[in-house]
Chain A
Amino acid sequence: MLVLTRKLGESVVIGNEIRVTVIECSSGIVRLGFEAPPDVSIYRAELHREIAAVNEAARSAVPCLPPVDRSGK
């Protein structure tokens, strides 16, 4: 992992099109601003974890399935 130190108002550029700026920093909380093309998805890592947890819950709910017939028809 690349670790960079930034001060308030300073930025990091990722590739040519993504800029992350430190907007606010107080009592252990950092606010970040993101500038990126519209097709770049930006979301909190918790969302990724939550979706993975939903997937895990979903698969756990499937009872024992018959073996998949891999021979085709």
Chain B
Amino acid sequence: MTLAAIAIDDDTSGLHFEEGIIGVPEARHFQLLARPDSPVRVLCSTDLPGFNLPVVDPTLVDPDYRPEFSQRVADALGFDETSELLILAVATIEAEGPMANLRAPIVINVARRCGAQVILDDRRLPLRARLVAETV
């Protein structure tokens, strides 16, 4: 995975994560960068330079991935069933290949430009689900 050439996403106004990222609560402001020829996008912290988190569309791993969020999460991010949500999975490179974390997705309320990393209750969801090779 090379990210040498990165184009800035459509909207550069930034994303606010009130509670940061799990393990990195101080990373609260991000830009989502994308490269036209890659499914890997990168959440770049604007307040923690160098904190860049690669993310992918989790439906690349499981086309039926439809995580359910608690009312608490919906209230915190100000969304309801009519809201447009952007759901992303943190991507890692393991010895076996690229993986995506389906247990703790990144959820972004597109209209409000706020997001959170949410731990889902479903224990069957893997922290490292294999991404098919040709998608990365």
Q: Which A residues lie at the B interface, using CB under 8 A? A: 38-41, 43, 47-59, 61-63, 65-66, 68-70, 72-73
A38 with B70, Cβ < 8 A, contacts A51-B22, A51-B127 known = yes
Q: Which of B79-136 contact A (CB under 8 A)?
A: 90-93, 101, 103-104, 117, 119, 121, 127-128
| Chain B contacts for A54, CB-based, 8 A | 90, 92, 101, 104, 127-128
> Within 8 Å CB of B31, what residues of A?
68, 70
State A70–B31 Cα separation when bound (angstroms): 9
**B23 lies within 8 A of chain A by Cβ:** yes
- B34: min CB distance to chain A, Å: 12
* Contact among B13, B92, B103, B104 with A57 in the assembled complex (CB-CB below 8 Å): B92
B33-52 with Cβ < 8 A to chain A: 33, 42, 44, 46, 51-52
CA distance A56 to B119 in the complex (A): 16
How does the 8 Å CB contact mask read for B39-72 relative to A, with 1 for contact and 0 for none?
0001010100001111000000000000000111
Do residues A51 and B42 form an inter-chain contact, with CB atoms below 8 A?
no
Determine which of A50, A59, A61 lies in contact with B1 in the assembled complex, contact meaning CB atoms within 8 Å: A61
B121 interface neighbour in A41, A49, A55, A58, Cβ under 8 Å: A41
How far in angstroms is the closest Cβ of chain B from A63? Answer: 6
> Given that A41-B121, A55-B22, A55-B23 are contacting pairs, would A63 and B90 also be in contact in the complex, using a CB cutoff of 8 Å?
no
Query: A51: which of B3, B12, B23, B70 is its contact (CB, 8 Å)?
Result: B23
A48 to B91, CA, bound (A): 17
Given A51-B101, A51-B119, A52-B22, is A62 in contact with B54 using a C-beta cutoff of 8 Å? yes
Q: What is the 8 Å Cβ interface bit string for chain B, positions 5-34, against chain A (1 contact, 0 not)? A: 110100011000000011110000001010
Contact for A55 among B21, B42, B46, B71, CB less than 8 A? B21
- The smallest C-beta distance from B122 to any residue of chain A, in angstroms, reads 11
Q: Are A70 and B119 in contact (CB under 8 A)?
A: no
